Amino acid sequence: MLAKEFGVDEKLVIPIGIRVSAGRRDALVNAFIYKNVDDMKRQLPKHYFVRLLSKEERERVKKERAGKKAERKQVAAKGGRQA
């Protein structure tokens, strides 16, 4: 809806928060609209992009990150540095 309102691509609109009041139909939405994807990726934390993925894709990303974290712990336990 915001993308249509401002005439931008849907991929450039990132919702940050949505607040609703009990018993009301209105919602307050905080969102960022960027000019290009490079600016968006440089300025926003990675978890904003992960939460926009489907449930299956989120689980896959979560497993990948857990594997990388475990690998870094093993390298640190050996006293080495990972490049």
> pLDDT of the chain along its 83 residues, tens only?
889 999 999 888 988 889 998 888 899 999 999 998 898 889 988 888 888 888 999 899 888 888 888 888 888 888 766 55
Structurally, the chain folds into a number of domains equal to 2
Q: Say whether both 48 and 59 belong to one domain.
A: no
Q: Say whether both 6 and 27 belong to one domain.
A: yes
Query: Cα Rg for the chain, rounded, in angstroms?
Result: 18
Q: From CA 66, how far away is CA 68, in angstroms rounded?
A: 5
Q: Say whether both 20 and 38 belong to one domain.
A: yes
Q: Say whether both 25 and 39 belong to one domain.
A: yes
Q: Say whether both 44 and 74 belong to one domain.
A: no
The domain of 70 spans: 55-83
Q: Say whether both 47 and 68 belong to one domain.
A: no
- pTM for the model: 0.60
Q: From CA 54, how far away is CA 58, in angstroms rounded?
A: 6
Q: Say whether both 31 and 70 belong to one domain.
A: no
